[in-house]
């Protein structure tokens, strides 16, 4: 009995040892195959690696040696245009701020790949809105790429204003709806909702107007646009 038990036990040990040896052999084979692959494809691998390094180096050079200095230069150029914009001198801010400074239009064209150039597009669009040139404004603001929490609201609200002035009320409503939902802001969102409600009321969408005004009342009671919003709702309910 004892001998038989020992024999079966020894057989299992032998099997485990062979499995371990096989594993060691497999690892060795994989390592050898990998080394052979590298030897055979060394030139290709170095070419790929070199290409990646060149791409990374090119990106860093563009960013730090070209883009950032260009952005700084654009910001310095835009100072005078921003000042004139704040003084409601929209035509001068757009085209000729004076003193050797560039206007928003020129900055948007010459520094298009920079953050400042991007903002110049938005400013140029606003100038055209104020000057009643809505098609030109539309082109600039559509090309503007907003970031953060406020600029997306401002972009789509501005496009709503432009399309409303072009009598494309369906498009205007779509932009106002997008501006009111893309990001919530306690000041800007109720302002957009009020525009949306007024426009929907003018287009005979009483239910949509009530919904927009109620959202101002319920979600943004402390905002300036919530003042007197009940009068809008009462008027609609009496119709």
pLDDT in tens, 45-59: 555 554 454 454 443
How distant is the alpha carbon of residue 94 from its chain centre? 25
Region label for 89, one of left (φ > 0), alpha (ψ between -120 and 50) or beta (otherwise) = beta
Residue 65, pLDDT score: 38
Calpha distance 77→107 (Å, rounded): 8
Same domain (yes/no): 49, 140: yes
Q: Which two tokens stand for residue 72?
A: 């700084």
Same domain (yes/no): 193, 102: no
Q: How far is CA 73 from CA 76, 116, 117, 147, in A?
A: 5, 9, 10, 21
Residue 31, pLDDT score: 54
Calpha distance 184→186 (Å, rounded): 7
42 SS3 class: helix
Q: Which domain holds residue 211?
A: 152-239
- Start-to-end C-alpha separation, the chain: 103
Of residues 221, 146, 234, the one with CA closest to residue 189 = 221
Last residue of a domain, one of 145, 177, 208: 145
- Which residues of the chain, if any, have pLDDT below 70? 1-67
Q: Does residue 166 lie within any of the structural domains?
A: yes
Residue 5, pLDDT score: 36
98 SS3 class: strand
Last residue of a domain, one of 130, 145, 160: 145
Q: Does residue 202 lie within any of the structural domains?
A: yes
Give CA angle at 97 (93, 146), nearest 5°.
40
The single-letter DSSP state of residue 102 is P
Same domain (yes/no): 63, 130: yes
Q: Does residue 36 lie within any of the structural domains?
A: no
Residue 45, pLDDT score: 54
**Cβ atoms 123, 81 nearer than 8 A:** yes
Total domains present in the chain: 2
**Cβ atoms 212, 190 nearer than 8 A:** no
Q: Does residue 33 lie within any of the structural domains?
A: no
């Amino acid at each position: 009995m004892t001998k038989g038990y020992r024999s079966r036990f020894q057989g299992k040990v032998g099997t485990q040892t062979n499995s371990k040896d096989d594993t060691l052999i497999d690892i060795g084979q994989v390592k050898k195959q990998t080394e052979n692959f590298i030897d055979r494809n060394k030139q290709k691998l170095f070419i790929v690696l070199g290409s990646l390094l060149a791409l990374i180096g090119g990106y860093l050079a563009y960013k730090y040696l070209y883009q950032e200095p260009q952005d700084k230069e654009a910001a310095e150029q835009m100072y005078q245009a921003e000042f004139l914009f704040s003084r409601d001198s929209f035509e001068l801010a757009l085209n000729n701020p004076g003193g050797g400074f560039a206007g928003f239009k020129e900055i948007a064209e010459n520094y298009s790949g920079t953050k400042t150039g991007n903002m110049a597009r938005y400013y140029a669009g606003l100038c055209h809105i104020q000057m009643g040139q809505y098609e030109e404004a539309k082109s600039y603001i559509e090309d503007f790429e907003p970031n953060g929490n406020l600029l997306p609201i401002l972009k789509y609200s501005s496009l709503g204003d432009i399309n409303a002035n072009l009598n494309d009320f369906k498009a205007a409503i779509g932009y106002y709806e997008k501006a009111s939902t893309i990001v919530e802001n306690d000041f800007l969102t109720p302002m957009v909702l009020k525009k949306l409600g007024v426009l929907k009321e003018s287009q005979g969408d009483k239910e949509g107007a009530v919904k927009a005004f109620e959202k101002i009342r319920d979600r943004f009671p402390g905002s300036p646009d919530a003042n007197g919003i009940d009068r809008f709702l009462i008027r609609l309910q009496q119709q």
